[in-house]
Chain A
Amino acid sequence: MYHLSVLLWLPAAFAVLGLLVPSRTTRWVAVVGALLTLALSVVLVLDFEATGPALQHVTDATWISALGVRYELALTGLNMWLALLATVGFAFSIVWAAMTPLGVDRRAKHVFFHLGIAQSAVLGALLAQDLILFVAFFDLMLIPFFFLTAQFGNGDRVPATIKMIVYTLVGSLLMLVAAIAVGVLATPPGAEVSYNIQEIAQRGVPEGSQGWLFACFAAAFLVKMPQFPIHGWLADGYKAMPLPVLAVFSGVLSKVAVYGFLQIAIPLLPQGTADLRWVVLIIAVVSILYASTVALTTFNARMVLAYSSVAQLGFITLGVMSLRPDGAAGALLQSVNHGVAVFGAFLAVAILGHRTGSEDLRDMGGAATKAPVFAVLFVVVTYAVLAMPGTANFVGEFLILRGTWEGSAPALAIVASIGVALAAVYALRLFIRSSHNRVGPVIQPREGARWELALLAVPVLLIIALAVHPQQTVEAADQAATRSVLSAAAAVSPDRARDILADDPSAQAAAEAAQSAAGGTGAAGGAGGAGAAGGADASGAAGAETAIDPATGQPVDQTAQTEGAGR
């Protein structure tokens, strides 16, 4: 049994430690810290019981009692793999930064301090089971990146930073307001305000307010991903950020926004989700098409990856908003896949552009001749980016498209799948223009240094491991995803929730698990008689009246059903 707080605060502790030691050793302190955190998270993931209770390794303490804010952390099927992705990503980024000039910069202490703080914040946002705690960490995780961009960035770093701040600030404030409102509005008269996420789900937010609350959360998350047309910070931000920082920013931080949908917006605001999901779906599908076409026309290698991320996150959003367990689990799997692929892709761009600093595709070419090992590693990464069948990225995309087809609309899946073909074009174009053809006019390709190739091999090996056994990742996500989307699915239509439960035996186990978890707070006592069909009755998901279970004729505890506690 490990205390999650150890995992959470270890990076921050090492960040502070890095400030205290002599500058020359700071980077090694940071590397040790990142690797320790990684090891700890691996242990936690191995320790996770896929069929066990929903929340594992729970830490719960009062934080600000006057405001009802608690310091509650837990490992769930939803956040477990994302937490691992975060520790892998930060370890990757910190090791990488340590090997580059950033690591020996006179301000190197700042680099590793900010990265450490950011890692703690990301882990905090992922593990938090209290809404305010989540929001606090979510905002905190961005701040180190503002400093990193502003201090160590390239080109127009200050305007880029300001742009990022303005955008995320607007999103964050909206989310903060919404978070407070959710907690307050869900509190029944006379009860104390609670921001516990499960507690709020059981209490239910009044349906009338769910629409604007969902809109606020969605705005914050969509800006963070980012999605069209609120991706204004993307181009400048990506261009300005140093690559090791960008890898983790693009690979990990955008996933916290995905997680926000599954952890907060959808389960807490089922009616709002049901009402507004088409707005998000359209944004997602437009993002896929728009960003894919931009990615295949831009000549900046970094921007190809930037827009490809927008497109990939469009797919992930589609999966999340399909409100089906397959789509949501696919989205989680794809989040992990995309993160891993992006680590590799940005490192590859760094190796390609190393000599001259040019990241223009027109300057590149012929790397495969001079750098065969690099080219082999890069081609694997490319296949992952374009989601070739056989990679886990394909599995994720398959699940997402399936979820979209069934949960949203076949037409949407078909339109989105155009993005799959476009992905093949932009990803291969990036590879061919940099590694194939003749040696380019500006950049003399060279084989990566040993450490670069070794580091690049890490995402490649992860891609292969994920490809061979994707089940590993979706297994834990399955039940958690069902729990997350069930009440919103019921809010869209009762049949839909029934389908989810009938379709999938494991969903029922998930519902049971949810019930046992809820049982701890004594709220789900009446749900025992709710059969699979009972879940479908939760059409007025957060309504106050008591539903009757058609199977048993018994009155059914409404709040428990909202949680998806059918058997």
Chain B
Amino acid sequence: MSPAEAAWIVLLLPLLGAVVLGLGFRVWRGITAGIIGTAAVGLAFVFTLITLFGLLGRDEEGTRQIASSLYDYVSVGGVDVKMEILVDPLSVVMLLVVTGVSTLIHLYSIAYMRGDAGYTRFFAYLNFFVFSMLVLVLAGNFVLLIVGWGFVGAASYMLISFWYRRTSATKAGIKAFVINVVGDVGLVLGVILLLKETNSVDFLDTFHSAKETFGEDGSGSLTAALLLIMVGAFAKSAQMPLHTWLPDAMEGPTPVSSLIHAATMVTAGVYLIARLHPLMELSPTAQTVGAIIGCATLLVAGTIGLVQTDLKRVIAYSTMSQIGYMIMGVSAGAYVAGMFHLMTHAFFKALLFMAAGSLISAMAGEQNMNKMGGFRKAMPFTFLAFVIGGLALSGIPPFSGFFSKDEILAGVASEGGWHWILWGAGIFGAFLTAVYTWRMIFRAFWGPPVPEAKELEEGHLHHAAEHRNPATGEIEDTGVGFPGPEHHIAERAPAMRMAMSVLAVLAVVGGILGIPHVFTPLEHFLEPVFEEAHALHHVDTSITVLGLIVGSLAGIAGIAVAYVIWAKPTTRGEASTAISSGWQRRFAPVHRLFVNKWYFDEIIDLLIVRPVRGFGRWAHDGFERLVIGGAIVGGTTGAVRGASAVVRRLQSGYLRTYSAVVLTGAAVLVIYFLTQS
């Protein structure tokens, strides 16, 4: 089987799974749906491996890039789009991450979603998501990329709104969808502009002709096109200012947050920039913009993460921040590093979300960290998972995040000049990351056990007397569209534990795929894709070593600070909130800024949502009625009214006469014109 054939099968399997689950949503009982869904994605992973080995079996030079097309998707008037996939090392690495992590999260969900009345629906959506993501990854041209881009947006929407009877969930869903459509629009316009210049939407054609078309230094239109395309990348990857949907997206079930809003979909922007590197290389402006936005996002998200009290939202801001690193990296030319971090991040962030899911289950759906504490003894496995994920996220050696984050920073710094500012910001971001991550861990697992934790230590799982939506306080039943009554924690569900264990191992050892100057199989595999990229080859050893040292120090310092503030026992033997509340008082304006998430939601509301809605209301209630209905229609009908007063008074049957009059009049006109000519 050729790699391309295997890749088509990879694409087909989750679609098949989604269709089988979707059509049979009343047929599958018990965990059958979960097993079907998991099997479909697991098989896709197997076929991804076949693709990988097929590719590895080929000669390194040139032949590892396979485009395969099925039929003409749309071909008209100079637009020529084929149903086409592109299999190369870059897409295969992404495929491995997507299918691999997806399989584990499906496995986790078999147990975690058990008892939810929408069990089958959940797996149908999840499989559809994987299919969409694979379309995005494998797309061989811009249009199919946008198709995958749109599909993942839809899948993400459906899964955020999975518990659709919660108004908070449906609001979060439409917000995510609309912001992503804004991104899609940017992408579409960017592609149209590119198409104008290159006359092709095909990736390989565009890349091969890029230098010819745009010249070595690029051109204004290339930069404009890339900036438009990056609007799409920023929307999907939750970069400022299009990030506000991601924290709200935490309304979805936790496996969804883990899969879509941490490991796979939100990294699509990174993949896109890496995919378009032949173009990015020609436009320094676009690269600069990307690097700065990524850097700003990683800092802002880090500061917000410091003060959030919702467990999942903290991790969401952390995701945003980590993607900021990746975007900064790939925009500065550190493509391999960006993809490497994408991969390790998928491991440890998925793990963290899974652990958070387990913890939230134990809390009976409560996500507020203020109500958590002391779970160390009650949930040792979850605790361990949190610690491993937290260490990897904080970039502590030798965990995976340590190597990948440093590689990004080293890549950025080796650009020299003002890029050292980005490097410094990245190091500071690493410090923030360690602080908020360990704040979360210390607050949830240290301190005196909360009632739920105590109950769990005695062997009971806490169930709330009446289920309430933590966001709005609405009372919930357990019919379709609300979370199920059962709660599943890793300590008791083997499927969850299995998935988390695999990810924990990967989060620990994932770094070996790219130990600088020692062992770099990933770089070696990806290198042919990026061979023209100039920044790839010469990262100074001194920069790398400096980064490794300073980066790990920043991480350790962050953990230490978090410990002192949130975990260190006071003389009375319990954690004190004195330090944090003291700081909150002293830096009240800053604290308010962070708690209010830098007021992005409010600004967007003020600048966009309100004016549009206001205009709509004015148009609907005022303009339509007065001008369109009153003046224009009223005027015309008024004129007619006098003449047709009889018709108006009579009943509808007489309209026949009226129409006859119309036709006769028309006939008279015909005759008049003909006799005049």
Contacts and interface: CB of A to CB of B under 8 A. Distances in A.
A102 to B, nearest CB: 16
B12 interface: no
B79 interface: yes
B620 A67 contact: no
A184 B161 CA distance: 62
Given A401-B188, A405-B196, A417-B189, A162 B481 contact: no
A363 interface: no
Given A146-B655, A161-B655, A176-B666, A369 B165 contact: yes
B633 interface: yes
Interface stretch (B166-174, B305-313, B420-428): B166-174
Contact of A481 (B77, B184, B479, B612): B77
Given A293-B619, A297-B616, A390-B150, A184 B73 contact: no
B619 A294 contact: yes
A147 B656 contact: yes
Interface string A411-431: 001100110111011001100
Contacts of A151: 652-653
A398 B188 contact: yes
Nearest to A140: B663
B615 A293 contact: yes
B154 interface: yes
Contacts of A477: 76
Interface in B627-677: 627-629, 632-633, 636-637, 640, 644, 647-648, 651-653, 655-656, 658-659, 662-663, 665-666, 669-670, 673-674, 677
B494 to A, nearest CB: 31
Nearest to B660: A143
A369 B189 contact: no
B192 interface: yes
Contacts of B184: 389, 420
A193 B150 contact: no
B181 A157 contact: no
B628 A231 contact: yes
Given A161-B652, A229-B632, A432 B174 contact: yes
A438 B163 CA distance: 11
A167 B613 contact: no
Contacts, number: 240
B677 A193 contact: yes
A229 B75 CA distance: 35
B616 A296 contact: yes
Interface stretch (B141-149, B432-440, B554-562): B141-149
Contact of B147 (A172, A230, A394): A394
Given A150-B655, A294-B619, A394-B147, A184 B677 contact: yes
A338 to B, nearest CB: 17
A297 B78 contact: no
Interface string A364-379: 0010110010001001
Interface of A: 67, 132, 139, 143, 146-147, 150-151, 157-158, 161-163, 165-167, 169-170, 172-173, 176-177, 180-181, 184, 193, 229-233, 235, 290, 293-294, 296-298, 324-330, 366, 368-369, 372, 376, 379, 383, 386, 388-390, 394-395, 398-399, 401-403, 405-406, 410, 413-414, 417-418, 420-422, 424-425, 428-429, 432, 435-438, 469-471, 474-475, 477-478, 481-482, 500, 503-504, 506-507
16 contacts: A150-B652, A158-B655, A162-B644, A180-B673, A290-B619, A293-B615, A293-B616, A326-B78, A369-B479, A421-B185, A429-B174, A436-B164, A437-B167, A437-B170, A438-B165, A478-B75
Interface of B: 22, 25, 71-79, 121, 143, 146-151, 153-154, 157-158, 161, 164-165, 167, 170, 173-174, 177-178, 181-182, 184-185, 188-189, 192-193, 195-196, 199, 479-481, 612-613, 615-617, 619-620, 624, 627-629, 632-633, 636-637, 640, 644, 647-648, 651-653, 655-656, 658-659, 662-663, 665-666, 669-670, 673-674, 677
